Amino acid sequence: MFRLFRTPRRMEDLALFSRHLAGAMATRAPLPEFLRAYLRDSEGGPVENAVAKIADDVAMGQPLAEAMDKHPKVFPAAYRRLVRLGEQGRTLVGMLRQTADRMEEGLKTYEHFRRAAAYPLILLLVMFGVTTFLTIVLRPKFEAIYMELGASLGASAPLGGNMATAILILNLILLVPIAYLLAALLGLRVWGFGSGRLLLQLPLIGPALRLVESANFANYLSLLLDNRVPLAESLGLISDASENRYVRAVVEDFRRRYESGEKLGAMMEHHPLFPASMAVMIAAAEDQGELAETLRHLGRFYHERTLHGLTLLREVMEPLMLILVGLFVALLVGVFFYMPLFHISKLIG
């Protein structure tokens, strides 16, 4: 997913820092003193650790952007570029507030998406985990009971060889991708997740993710253009900031082709990552010289559309998951308890 920063926690910390810094600069508070006071009020973390060193550099006379350049893992290139432009144009307060607005909007979308997707994934993970556990734990107990009765837990018996093996194989096949997706949604660094193309093509999750990518692309590109960053450079900064390797490659390809003379709208029109209406509007905005304003509108529109879609998805998924859990409990009781006990009673009889 495209985010300016590596984790939601760091994105949240930097959004809070940006908004607080903008307020301090609006009141003309001495910057080194404010940064040190900010540290005393904070709980600690990557952003706060960087701010401690930035406070010392700023106190020695370094510009804020140059001090941030020493911490590229905390302050990405796009953020540092905006700070530098804000310092040069004396518009740093407004730029910091705009950046905080974009980050908070992205965080809101991300949290809605994570909650909508994590709920069914957690339930499925628990369900398949429970069946795997019961298959492994209960099968030896029933096997011991069968041996006491002078019978064997054959392939045709409940939890017999074929059934137990099928349950275990099916659960393991399903558990791995579910756990993988859940770890990715929770922000954990998992192998291969950065490629991202597969996630964008998944049913239900994929369309929502593509809208999130479109909203973030429009929001951050409009922010850069509003601060007079050239379009080619803006595309390069967005590409550098993206966690999703597929999105990064797409945006970097746009940058190269734009430098070769192609227009952004024409390139987006033939790409499945972005909605068709978005490409049409951007193409028209390029011709009319209103690209930044159009991108701001598109960012807000797809942000709201994503939130509305995720709300509907959660409303549909919750009753469906309750029905699925009910069926699962019935199947669990039947396969793991009633069927073996019924079979044992037949052997005793």
The pLDDT of residue 255 is 95
Structural domain includes residue 26: yes
Q: Is the pLDDT of residue 70 over 90?
A: yes
Instruction: State how far the Cα of 7 lies from the Cα of 25, in Å rounded to an integer.
Output: 27
Q: Give this prediction's pTM.
A: 0.72
The pLDDT of residue 247 is 86
Structural domain includes residue 76: yes
The pLDDT of residue 258 is 95
Query: Of 61 and 311, which is predicted with more confidence?
Result: 61
Instruction: State how far the Cα of 55 lies from the Cα of 52, in Å rounded to an integer.
Output: 5
The pLDDT tens digits for 150-188 are: 655 554 455 555 666 677 777 777 777 777 666 666 555
The pLDDT of residue 180 is 67
The pLDDT of residue 134 is 73
The pLDDT tens digits for 105-117 are: 878 887 777 777 7
Structural domain includes residue 251: no
Structural domain includes residue 338: no
For residues 61-80, average pLDDT:
91
The pLDDT tens digits for 292-331 are: 999 999 999 998 888 888 788 777 777 887 887 788 777 7
Name the 3-class secondary structure at 91.
coil
Q: Is the pLDDT of residue 5 over 50?
A: no
Structural domain includes residue 29: yes
Percent of the chain at pLDDT exceeding 70: 80
Instruction: State how far the Cα of 164 lies from the Cα of 47, in Å rounded to an integer.
Output: 51
> Are residues 45 and 13 in contact, defined by beta-carbon separation less than 8 angstroms?
yes
In sequence order, which residues have a C-beta less than 8 Å from that of residue 73 and are 6 or more positions away?
A: 6, 46
For residues 258-270, average pLDDT:
93
Structural domain includes residue 243: no
Structural domain includes residue 137: no
The boundaries of the domain holding residue 44 are 8-95
3 pLDDT band, cuts 50/70/90, is: very low
Mean pLDDT for all residues in the chain: 81
Q: Is the pLDDT of residue 345 over 60?
A: yes
Specify the number of domains making up the chain: 1
Structural domain includes residue 84: yes
Backbone angles phi, psi at 122, to 5 degrees: -65, -45
The pLDDT of residue 209 is 81
259 pLDDT band, cuts 50/70/90, is: very high
Specify the CATH number for the domain of residue 23. 1.20.81.30
Instruction: State how far the Cα of 13 lies from the Cα of 89, in Å rounded to an integer.
Output: 26
Instruction: State how far the Cα of 112 lies from the Cα of 153, in Å rounded to an integer.
Output: 48
